[in-house]
Amino acid sequence: MHIGELADRAGMSLRTIRHYDEVGLLVPSGRTTGGFRVYTEQDLDRLLVIRRMKPLGFTLDEMAELLRVVDALAAKDPEDEPALAARLDEFLDDARARHAKLVERAGMAEEFIGTLGSLRASLP
């Protein structure tokens, strides 16, 4: 698929996808003879992993590290599996902690909205 379809399917901007290409997070699987980027379903899956990490506040470097772990796991080298599993566990623990903070912040936002709603309800 071309970058426009990838962007539509991932719900992301062309600019963001191009940036991920520039920094090496999402390199297109190929290019047309005209030089246009071509992406596969696997590229889309990779982009969706990146998209899911964004709201948790992972840096580009952290995203790249996780993607290296995912790629290494896909290579299925039994010798590497224990270290990769340990690193994946670290990412999982980190993601859970970041999620908990987001849930806490969302709760605070809901309280604030309730406060504003109460204030508004008291006005004519």
- Environment class of residue 37 by beta-carbon count within 10 Å: exposed (0-12), middle (13-18) or buried (19+)? buried
Q: What digits encode the pLDDT tens for the residues 68-104?
A: 999 999 898 889 999 999 999 999 999 999 999 999 9
pLDDT for res 87 = 96
Average pLDDT, the chain: 95
Distances from the Cα of 41 to the Cαs of 9, 19, 38, 76, 98, in angstroms? 10, 19, 10, 20, 28
Q: What is the mean pLDDT of residues 23-34?
A: 93
Domain 3-121 is found in CATH 1.10.1660.10:
yes
Which residues face 31 on adjacent strands?
A: 37
pLDDT for res 58 = 97
So where are the chain's domains? Answer: 3-121
Which helix (H) or strand (E) covers residue 72, if one does? helix 60-75
pLDDT for res 77 = 87
The percentage of the chain sitting over the pLDDT mark of 90, rounded to a whole number, equals 94
| CA-CA-CA-CA dihedral for 90, 40, 15, 58, to nearest 10 | 0
